[in-house]
Chains A and B, each alone.
Chain A
Amino acid sequence: MLFNSLEFFLFLPIVFLLYWFIVNRNLKLQNTFVLAASYFFYGWWDWRFLSLIFLSTISDFILGILIGKTDDQKIQKRYLYLSFVVNLGILIFFKYFNFFIEEFSRLSEAIGLNANYSTLSIILPIGISFYTFQTLSYTIDVYKKQLAPTNDFISFAAFVSFFPQLVAGPVERASTLLPQFLKKRQFDYTKSVEGCQQILWGFFKKIVIADNCALFVNDIFGYYEYGEVSGLILLIGAVLFVIQIYADFSGYSDIAIGVAKLFGFQLMQNFNFPYHATSTTEIWRKWHISISSWFRDYLNKPLFFYFRHWGNYGLIIPLILTFTIIGFWHGANWTFIVYGLIHGIVMSIELFSKKTRKKIRKKIPKWLNSSMGWLITMFIWVFTCIIFRAENMTLAVNYIAAIFDNLFVLDMTQVTSRIIFQSLLITLTKGKVLFLLILFMFVIEWIYRKYTYGFKLNFKIPFLNWVFYYSILLLIILFGEFSQQEFIYFQF
């Protein structure tokens, strides 16, 4: 079930009322209800997907108990590895199997072998990259003794499948989310109002900003394959994609966190205004925090530790390795690998230029330093996002080359002669409105940048809050793009 669908619009209030009024007397019953609602929510796409999530749930539940039963570190480690095998096995089979087969046969052909491996037609279950990592965090935390294993299967299964964050995060750590399932939730008026604010803002970002940007982005990126387009338009397309992907994913996270608040749960902040960052390192501390911190804690840190006596290489290797894997996490495509790799390299450069940059910082005014940092960061981000968006590396490289080839050539006749761009021309009014709306989003988020979400209204006069609520509601209804686009991160 998509958040931006009519079904969810009915699902949410029903589940909310049942949750607080019917099943609230008994914690066990309430958790069972959350589990059932979550499985219903997920099964709405395809009930067959439920078997996978169940497999992942039950194996980690048992492995957690087994780890808790023994004191032998070697055996504990073996159980931990088994959990890796199960979760990453599911992930690799469903997400990367065909990619590896294809690359392997290409390689065999290159060295002269007559390769003929057939790929399987596998559908990628939605959210698989998210819940497998959440389940894994449980076993790791139990192994590291940061969390006692639970005997309560219902609560554990509800933790794994909790519908607000099941399909696209935030990927929660077992040590912070699971305990919330084990104790009774209290309805909190202030938190619920905050939740509603966050949901409203999330819908605005998703339906108004992201999906309207998508119209243009899909046109420009799609059109690009057919022939030549002015570099300026391609550049605008890339910038719009950067805005789209932020509004889409942070919008989703806002809705997820807001919905969880309505049910008395606190999820982690997933975006901390990443586009205010003045370095790539900083962006990654503020972008998709739940996954980047997952990789930081469970992959990057151990790698750093392992390579710590290798001098400078001991810093570069783990960084580049981690970010390449983060890139690959997004999907089985070379574009994602290159995207991650470039970020790893940029961050290594930033690491070793720290002292030089500090010297510069002392010599020039603060605003100049941060705006330069921001420009460089955004430049890198925009161009790596082109790679991220493109269907394959050839198209990505061509796209970037075409931007510089004819950056200032804007031949409208060439544009209008193509039908794909006709829709774009019709939506020129839409373009102007969209520009203002994007500006509006960034201004509001700038005002509330000190908070955990960008729309934490707190006017002294309640009436003013309501004026804003209705304005956002009307903007969604009047300017939203309601073709029910899926969230970008569902495919990862």
Chain B
Amino acid sequence: MTVQDVLGQFNQIFIDVLDEEDIVLTLDSTADDVEDWDSLTHIQLVVAIEKHFKVTFTTAEIENYENVGQMCNGVLEKLTAQTA
């Protein structure tokens, strides 16, 4: 799986959670770029991502992600660690 694959799946999760069909995520997207992305939806997104990829984050990890790209990489690292 590549970062772009993860991003594609992220995009679908965002559309489902935020109920907004025209979201197009890039690796540089931040909370400011997405309407309705606040601390509440943030956690909903995290839960949905955890569920989808079957991974868990720590508080520190969540807080240190600055954009979508870093989060995708985080997921990717966790997945490779699991398979390894």
A–B contact at 8 Å CB threshold (below) = yes
**A358–B59 contact, CB under 8 A?**
no
Within 8 A of A (CB), among B47-65: 47, 50, 59-60, 62-63
Is chain B's interface secondary structure helix, strand, loop, or mixed overall? helix
What count of chain B residues pass the 8 Å CB interface test? Answer: 14
> Given A308-B43, A308-B46, A302 and B59 touching (CB < 8 A)?
yes
**A301–B38 contact, CB under 8 A?**
no
What count of chain A residues pass the 8 Å CB interface test? Answer: 19
Of A144, A296, A300, A358, the contact of B19 (CB 8 Å cutoff): A358
Q: Is B84 positioned at the interface, with any CB of A under 8 Å from its CB?
A: no
Within 8 A of B (CB), among A159-213: none
Residues of B within 8 A of A489 (CB): none
**B63–A304 contact, CB under 8 A?**
no
**A305–B59 contact, CB under 8 A?**
yes
Shortest Cβ distance from A285 into B: residue? B38
Residues of B within 8 A of A314 (CB): 47
Q: How many angstroms between the C-alpha atoms of A315 and B42 in the bound complex?
A: 11
Is chain A's interface secondary structure helix, strand, loop, or mixed overall? helix
Residues of B within 8 A of A315 (CB): 40, 43-44
Shortest Cβ distance from A319 into B: residue? B40
**B39–A309 contact, CB under 8 A?**
no
Within 8 A of B (CB), among A310-369: 314-315, 319, 351, 354-355, 358
Of A301, A308, A354, A355, the contact of B39 (CB 8 Å cutoff): A301
Q: How many angstroms between the C-alpha atoms of A304 and B42 in the bound complex?
A: 10
Nearest CB in chain B: distance from A137 CB, A: 14
Residues of A within 8 A of B43 (CB): 301, 304-305, 308, 315
Q: How many angstroms between the C-alpha atoms of A319 and B40 in the bound complex?
A: 9
> Chain B 5-47, CB within 8 Å of chain A: the 1/0 string?
0000000000000010000000000000000001110111011
**B39–A304 contact, CB under 8 A?**
yes
Nearest CB in chain B: distance from A200 CB, A: 31
Q: How many angstroms between the C-alpha atoms of A321 and B59 in the bound complex?
A: 19
Residues of A within 8 A of B62 (CB): 305
Residues of A within 8 A of B38 (CB): 281, 285
> Chain A 127-160, CB within 8 Å of chain B: the 1/0 string?
0000000000000000010000000000000000
> Given A144-B63, A302-B59, A358-B19, A308 and B47 touching (CB < 8 A)?
yes
Of B40, B44, B50, B60, the contact of A144 (CB 8 Å cutoff): B60
Nearest CB in chain A: distance from B59 CB, A: 5
Q: How many angstroms between the C-alpha atoms of A418 and B46 in the bound complex?
A: 60
Q: How many angstroms between the C-alpha atoms of A305 and B46 in the bound complex?
A: 9
**B59–A296 contact, CB under 8 A?**
no
A interface residues (Cβ-Cβ under 8 A, vs B): 144, 281, 285, 296-297, 300-302, 304-305, 308-309, 314-315, 319, 351, 354-355, 358
30 contacting pairs across A/B (C-beta < 8 A): A144-B60, A144-B63, A281-B38, A281-B40, A285-B38, A300-B39, A301-B39, A301-B42, A301-B43, A301-B59, A301-B63, A302-B59, A304-B39, A304-B40, A304-B42, A305-B43, A305-B46, A305-B59, A308-B43, A308-B46, A308-B47, A309-B47, A314-B47, A315-B40, A315-B43, A315-B44, A319-B40, A351-B40, A355-B19, A358-B19
B interface residues (Cβ-Cβ under 8 A, vs A): 19, 38-40, 42-44, 46-47, 50, 59-60, 62-63
Shortest Cβ-Cβ A-B pairs, 9 listed: A304-B43, A308-B47, A296-B39, A305-B59, A355-B19, A301-B39, A308-B43, A358-B19, A300-B39
Other A-B pairs beyond A301-B42, A314-B47, 14, CB < 8 Å: A144-B60, A281-B40, A297-B39, A301-B59, A301-B63, A304-B39, A304-B40, A304-B42, A305-B46, A308-B47, A309-B47, A315-B44, A355-B19, A358-B19
